[in-house]
Amino acid sequence: MPELLDDRVGFVRRIGLFQATAINMSQMCGIGPFVTIPLMVTAFGGPQAVIGFLAGAVLALADGLIWAELGASLPGAGGSYVYLREAFQYRTGKLMPFLFVWTAMLFIPLGMSTGVIGFVQYLGYLWPGMSQGQGDAVGLVVTVGIVVLLWRRVERIARLTVVLWAVMIASVALVIVAAFTHFSPALAFTYPAHAVELTAGHFWIGFAGGLTIGIYDYLGYNTAAYMGAEIRQPGRTLPRAIISSILGIMAIYLLLQIGTLGVVNWREMLDPQSTAGSSVAAAVLEKTWGPAAADAVTALILVTAVTSVLTGLLGGSRVPYDAARDRVFFRVYGALHPRHRFPVLGLLTMGVVMAAGFLLGRHTDLATIIQLLTTVMVIVQSLAQVAAVTVLRRRQPALRRPYRMWLYPLPSVVALVGWLVIYGCADRSPPGRHPIEWSLAWVAAGGLAFLVWARGEREWPFGPKRIDERYLHGADPDEEAVPVAEG
């Protein structure tokens, strides 16, 4: 089959529906649920924590429909960068895409750092005597190893991702099967008194914290959209990959959450030093199939952690590339590897930030990193994309829309409310970390950086607005095929 060359950005369209879905699901699942089930139980104070995963699924699906429409209409490298550039160029020039790239260079690798933290956390089950320094060293070695794995052509990574995706599915399936062979409904469904008291303030504080953890676990349904310039038939592939991956992971998470709570007493998860608090999947296997099975599945979970980080960094490293090519970010980020055709500096920069985030999380806690990355992401990406769908429908009504959001504008409203709840309650969990203030400071710094950049480039507000409607007038990538030679 001939490859499709996107001659605007130099990428080749090689990734199909199955690979795109596998990339999304690998990034979504990864180590997330294996380390956040105890966090969710702590937030809610009991097995009613399943509410958090359900709420996260609703928000992920609503937001996923936004990504599906934008990704199908604007299938370029960088995902949100492209969407915000096209939507907001009419009023604020290149401010919004610049701010997105600025924040993405922080929140994407911070998200990946949580996977490395989880890797070291589960490794501690197989290596009980591991010291803090040894754990730090292991995490840094894993970070470097992932960057080395990504130092190759994307189609080779896509094939590797499918293999790693199968390992991820196997590890999750084994934990679920083990849980339901020894399932106790009394453990899973016996809630403490006043567990779901809708008139109590503490319930809604726990709900907001649980929603943050829940959406963190679902993050990754948009990974393939960051690689829009490398997707075959993106108008059909991206919406299907996004929606399928959310529905598939939702089913997996509910089975995993309920099954785990039916084996491990939720009170044991409140102690972060216990096996149930630090390696809950291993605790499930210990109680059901014994220590040998726990060791084997823990090894698979370690592979799953690496898979999620690899796919997330793969998609995220594309974000600054297209921006630099359009002269909306530092131009040095606009170079591809001459042979393997991947963005070199974007990958290296995010690798360094990921290493720093890993060390920060190791010396604070995982919840802190989750809150920091979520608040930074919400303020520029999530809320802005809710607006971008409506803005583009009004500004570019003739834009090709192979997929249009179901029940518009209801998903946009649901997503808007969900993101505002997460952001507004961020300072309450964990207390004393001030993620809202840090996110505002980072965006303010980005605004100053934009002014310096805009003055040097003579862009708005120091020059004219340059309107670029390339997707409105360009060729249809679902139909256009340009054969290129292999190698």
Of the candidates 478, 468, 467, 469, the one whose C-alpha atom is nearest the C-alpha of residue 401 is 478
Name all contacts of 289-296 with Cβ < 8 Å and 24+ positions apart.
289/178, 293/174, 293/178, 294/125, 295/125, 295/126
Inside any domain, residue 52: yes
Is the backbone peptide bond immediately before 461 cis, with ω within 30 degrees of 0? yes
3-class DSSP state of 434: coil
Inside any domain, residue 179: yes
147: how many CB neighbours lie within 10 A of its CB? 18
What Å distances lie between residue 391 and 384, 395, 410, CA to CA? Answer: 10, 6, 16
Tens-place pLDDT, residues 289-339: 999 999 999 998 898 888 878 877 877 787 788 778 878 888 888 888 777
Q: Which residue has the tokens 């701010």?
A: 99
Given a cut of 50, whether residue 4 has pLDDT beyond it is: no
State the DSSP code for 183.
-
User: What's the rounded Cα separation, in Å, for the pair 317 and 150?
Assistant: 10
Inside any domain, residue 130: yes
Inside any domain, residue 256: yes
Q: What is the CATH number of the domain that holds 210?
A: 1.20.1740.10
Taking the CA atoms of 196, 202, 208 and 214 in sequence, report the sign of the dihedral they define. negative
On whether the CB atoms of residues 384 and 96 are closer than 8 A, the answer is yes
Residue 224 tokens read as: 């393939």
Inside any domain, residue 118: yes
Q: Which helix (H) or strand (E) holds 344?
A: helix 344-363
Residue 154: its pLDDT value, please? Answer: 59
Given a cut of 80, whether residue 83 has pLDDT beyond it is: yes
Residue 202 belongs to what domain range? 11-463
Tell me the backbone φ, ψ of residue 302, rounded to 5 degrees.
Answer: -60, -40
Tens-place pLDDT, residues 124-157: 999 998 999 999 999 999 999 999 888 876 556 6
Tell me the backbone φ, ψ of residue 13, rounded to 5 degrees.
Answer: -80, 95
Residue 9: its pLDDT value, please? Answer: 46
Inside any domain, residue 245: yes
Q: Which helix (H) or strand (E) holds 11?
A: strand 11-13
Given a cut of 50, whether residue 231 has pLDDT beyond it is: yes
Counted domains in the chain: 1
Inside any domain, residue 26: yes
User: What's the rounded Cα separation, in Å, for the pair 399 and 407?
Assistant: 19
Tens-place pLDDT, residues 395-441: 999 999 999 999 999 999 999 999 999 999 888 766 667 899 999 99
Taking the CA atoms of 334, 337, 341 and 342 in sequence, report the sign of the dihedral they define. negative
End-to-end Cα separation, the chain, in angstroms: 14
Inside any domain, residue 375: yes
Tens-place pLDDT, residues 21-55: 988 887 787 788 888 999 999 889 889 999 999 99
Rg of the Cα atoms in the chain: 22
Q: Is 360 exposed, middle or buried (0-12, 13-18, 19+ CB in 10 A)?
A: middle
